[in-house]
């Protein structure tokens, strides 16, 4: 596992030894960032269910201002900390070691809104719909923000539009934007 592009391109990252953590493959990571292309240097990013932190680190390598890394697993948080140290991204990172709903409530209570939210929960759990509902109801995604989901499940999506979908064998990567009836709302064009 490595950083695909940006300031830290080619730098190797530590992978979890735990079989419960399934890092995003380099192929999928490269595809995600080729689709997103330029990352705004003022962007605030959430890497929920961060695992090794590889996706959030990719955002930082490409110029994101700050990334919040969240995971309930202490092992994952420790690997993420080591990867951030190796990449020298500690100053641009905030790590939260708690359950995903407590993380989301923390963001809501602190009036944080994200430009990019990456969701890659453990495949054996049904967290995506619950997370999307919270993001929508508590409005923690900026108006022109994007949610990126990696999953192997068919999921029900309400309140968001799928603006791009890619398939890699059993894995689906979805890019979502908030549905808005306002004619002047921002819409991503990929």
CA–CA separation, 108 vs 125, rounded Å? 23
DSSP percent split of the chain into helix, strand, coil, nearest 5: 30, 25, 45
87 and 61 in contact (C-beta within 8 Å)? yes
Residue 102's SS3 state is: helix
Q: Of 190, 186, 188, whose CA–CA distance to 143 is shortest?
A: 186
pLDDT tens-digit profile of 167-181? 988 889 999 998 874
Domain extent listing, the chain: 47-171
Q: Domain 47-171 in CATH: superfamily? A: Vaccinia Virus protein VP39 (3.40.50.150)
Q: How high is the pLDDT of residue 183?
A: 46
pLDDT tens-digit profile of 126-171? 789 999 999 999 999 999 999 999 988 788 888 999 999 999 888 8
Return the sign of the alpha-carbon dihedral for residues 141, 30, 2, 100: positive
pLDDT tens-digit profile of 66-90? 999 999 999 999 999 999 999 999 9
Q: How high is the pLDDT of residue 123?
A: 67
CA–CA separation, 105 vs 138, rounded Å? 9
**What tokens were used for 49?**
């269910």
pTM above 0.75, yes or no: yes
């Amino acid at each position: 596992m490595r950083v695909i592009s940006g300031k830290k391109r080619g730098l190797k990252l530590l992978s979890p030894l735990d079989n419960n953590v399934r890092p995003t493959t380099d192929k999928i990571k490269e595809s995600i960032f080729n689709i997103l292309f330029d990352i705004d240097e003022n962007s605030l990013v959430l890497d929920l269910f961060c695992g090794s932190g590889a996706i959030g680190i990719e955002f930082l390598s490409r110029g994101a201002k700050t990334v919040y890394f969240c995971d309930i697993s202490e092992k994952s948080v420790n690997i993420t900390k080591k990867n951030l140290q190796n990449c020298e991204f500690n100053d641009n990172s905030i790590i939260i070691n708690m359950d995903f709903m407590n993380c989301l409530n923390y963001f809501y209570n602190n009036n944080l809104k994200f430009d990019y939210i990456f969701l890659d929960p453990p495949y054996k759990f049904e967290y995506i719909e619950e997370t999307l509902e919270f993001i929508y109801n508590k409005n923690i995604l900026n108006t022109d923000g994007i949610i990126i989901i990696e999953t192997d499940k068919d999921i029900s999506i309400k309140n968001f539009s799928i603006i791009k979908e890619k398939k890699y064998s059993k894995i689906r990567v979805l890019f979502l934007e908030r549905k808005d009836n306002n004619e002047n709302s921002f819409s991503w064009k990929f």
